[in-house]
Structure 1
C-alpha cells in the first residue's frame, strides 16, 4: 500500500481477546465459505450493498434479515466483529452475507465499476487526536474509490457523532462532484431513517449525549 497519507491504515488493532476453539473454527472453516471474492460477486441477488467497518454487525445483520434478496458485503478488519457476524450467519443461515476481514480499499480497488447499489459507513473511528486525523477513513481519496464502484443512482449513507468529523466529511464531498447530498431540511441529517437501525456505537453516543449526524448521498 502506498505511503501516501490517504492510504494510511484507518483502523487500529485487529484482535481483542484470544478466540475460543469455537471461534477459531468459525474463522478457519466458515470465513472462507462466506468471504467476498471481488472477482466473483454474489449471484442471484437483486442488489449488492456494502458496509464499511461493520463493528459488532448490528446494522449489517439487520439489513441482511430484512432484505434477503440483497447481497450484504461487510468489510471489517477487527477479528472480534467478524466472529460475531459469522456466528449469526451460520446460526440463522443468512446466505446473503459476504465478509471481507481487512481494509475495504482492497475491495474498492478490485471490484468491477458499478458493482455496488448502496454503501454504508456508520460511525467510523473518529481518530480524535489532531496528529491522527489524517487516518480518518472518510476523505476525498476514499470517495473517489467509492464513486468508481457505485452505480449511478446508488445511495451512500454515513453516520457520525463527532461534529468536527462531520464537517471534514462534508468538505470532502464538496470536492467530489460524483456525489450529491440529499438534504433539503435539517431533519434530513438530524433524524435517523426508519430503515437505518442503531449500532452499538450510536447507542453509546446517545448515552453520552452527543449529537448524531446522518448523511445520505446519491451517486450522480
Structure 2
C-alpha cells in the first residue's frame, strides 16, 4: 500500500476499543489471506460471475449477509475501522466464506486498482455525513468519487447509496445531477422507501440520526 494516493480522509478513527489478542491475531495472520490487492483480485475474480464493492462496511452486517446469500458473487469490502474489520474476519474464518476480499483503508485507493467496467454494484451505506460546513470536504461521496465509480462499473452497473442525513442526501443528489453519469433505477421510486431486498444494518436499526434516504442508481 506504499503507492496509495493521499485523499483527504473521509473517516475519523481506526479503532474504537482496544484490540484483543485474538483480534490482533486475525489482522496479522488471517487478513493477509483475504487482503484485496490487484493481483489477488484478478486471480480470485476468475472464479466468480460478478464482483460487487462496498465502501465502508462498518461492522459487516451487509457484506456478510450478501456474501452468504450470493456465493457466486465476489465481494470486495473496504473499511478503515479495524474493530469492524476483525468482526468480518472472524465471520469469514468461522463460516468458511471464500467470496470476500477486504481492504482495511480508503476505498478510493482500492477503486484505482480495479480495471474499468469490472464491477456490477457499488454500495455506499450510511457513510460519515461530516455535518459541519468545514467538514463537508471530507465526505466520501463527491463528484470525483462518483466519476471514479462510474468508470469502474460495467454497462449495467448499479450504485446504491443510503444515508440518514438530509443535507448529505441533497448534496449527493445535486452532484449526481451535475455530473450526469447515472440515472435512477426506477424513476417512480420513493427515496424514503426501503427496497424489498434491503439488508438492514445494525446502524440503521438504531436510527441514529434520522429518516433514511435510499438512492438507487444505474450507470448511463
TM-score by length of 2: 0.92
2:203 corresponds to: 201
CA distance 1:25–1:145, shift in 2 (3 Å): same
The more displaced of 23-32 and 190-199 is 190-199
Q: Deviations over 1:12-68 (max 9, x none)?
A: 111122211111110011100011122342221111000000001000000001000
1:38 corresponds to: 38
Gap regions ≥5 residues in structure 2: none
Alignment of 1:59 with 2:78, yes or no, is no
The more displaced of 165-174 and 106-115 is 106-115
Which of these residues, 92, 96, 101, is aligned with residue 98 of structure 1? 101
Alpha-carbon distance in 1 for matches of 2:25, 2:36:
18
Check the 8 A contact 1:15/1:79 in 2, yes or no.
yes
1:86 corresponds to: 89
Instruction: Find the residue that maps to 1:117 and give its secondary structure.
Output: strand
Check the 8 A contact 1:114/1:151 in 2, yes or no.
yes
1:163 corresponds to: 166
The more displaced of 89-98 and 39-48 is 39-48
Structure 1 residue 184 displacement after superposition: 2.3
CA RMSD of aligned residues (A): 1.5
Alignment of 1:125 with 2:115, yes or no, is no
Q: Deviations over 1:92-144 (max 9, x none)?
A: 01110110000011111121111211110001001111211111111001011
Gap regions ≥5 residues in structure 1: none
Structure 1 residue 186 displacement after superposition: 4.9
TM-score by length of 1: 0.92
Alignment of 1:138 with 2:141, yes or no, is yes
Q: Deviations over 1:125-184 (max 9, x none)?
A: 011112111111110010111111111110110000111100000011012222112242
Check the 8 A contact 1:39/1:111 in 2, yes or no.
no
1:211 corresponds to: 211
